[in-house]
Structure 1
Amino acid sequence: MSLKIIVSYDDTDNDRDALALGRLLAVPGAELALAYVRHSFGPSLEQEQAEELLARGAASLGTPEMPKHVVVNPATSVGLMELAERERADAIVFGSEYRTARGTLKPGISAHKLLLGGPSAIAVAPAGLWDGAAPRVQTIGVIDEGDVCARETAASLAAVLGAGVAEYGSARLDLLVVGSRPEAPDGRVVLSARSDYAVEAANYPVLVIPRATALDFG
């Protein structure tokens, strides 16, 4: 079954970074979709504006007909989680928190909440990823947390991108795949303290996978 990837998008610079990461992860055959969460049922104008910003995001990728979802939920994280479960999405992609310095990575509130029990893999882009040429991935790092699925995911993505795989801390990395902590329920994302530190210290994209769940990019 092909991968399904949802990009959380609100037309800000940092969410354009999420577009760049979504495009990188959306290997041939994968389905890439955009999602925007409205926080209340309001005037039709708000719905129209949400649809327009998603349309701009899709157009910037050169795929105006790609799937686009406007979700209504008081909490962005809950809205995206419910959408991911309904669509059976494999991953949700976020940009960094809006005050993040260029070239560094910091998950925002919604991403951080889903890193504490979300049902889908969570990818976070560093600030500034959208600018310039498409990111070139030569080395993918891995923190497996004792879960072979993290290593399988890294190897699968590396094979598609023509990259190598290295242990975290042993080489200069262009992307990091992180497994969930051993205590996490199967199918849920939960970071360990060590992995949380690695994510916060990253200056490259990070992909955190649920426990016992490998993503097949082939």
Structure 2
Amino acid sequence: MPFIVYLRVSTQRQGQSGLGLEAQREAVEQYAARVSEPILGTFTEVESGAQKDRPELAAALKECRRTKSVLLIARLDRLSRSLSFIAQLLEAGVEIRAADMPEANRLMLQMLAVFAEHERRLISERTRAALAAAKTRGVELGVHGKRLAQAHRDEATVFARSLATIVLPLAAQKMSLRRIADELNARGLVSRDGGRWHPSSVTRLLSRLKEAH
């Protein structure tokens, strides 16, 4: 039977950079080539594993039913660590295959989901226990995160100030955010994330400059 591929990453940044996606794509393509079955389509989801409402997965399952294909994933954990969610998928009337464990049948998939959910609960419980113990010892929680956030803000301020002599005169001329963005792009200047300027990124830049003064 042919395959419909479902890929998933947990964050928007991973989706944009390809982190995780390329490894999954390579795994499913190698498996399909090994069993000499075609891939009829690929659906990619950028979403949290805890989120059950996944439009791309729903579309992939629908396409599997329409083309009588097998849903192919790279690894079981790319679907979910929720037993109830895996059970729901297994009841969808679509054969599911994981490239890292193609011999897994429906029962094995359910068992793996049970172990995965158990592991997730253990990790959550250990994390809560560690935080509670640290708080009891008087450790200030979140200090490292606060330092990183402050460093991020400082870097953003330095970047904003480097463009102040260009952006502030444009804003003083009552230019729209769109026109300022177009002007920055025309000059070949990149935004802080290395991309093109948009009204939203100009707004953040002006806000940062205002806070700096």
Q: For the superposition of Structure 1 and Structure 2, which TM-score range results when normalised by the shorter chain?
A: 0.3 to 0.5
Taking CA–CA contacts closer than 8 Å with sequence separation of 6 or more, which of the two structures ends up with the larger relative contact order? 1
Q: TM-score, normalised by structure 2?
A: 0.35
Higher helix share: 2
**What is the TM-score when the length of structure 1 is the normalising length?**
0.34
Relative to total residues, which structure has the larger strand share, 1 or 2? Answer: 1
Structure exhibiting the larger radius of gyration computed from Cα positions: 2
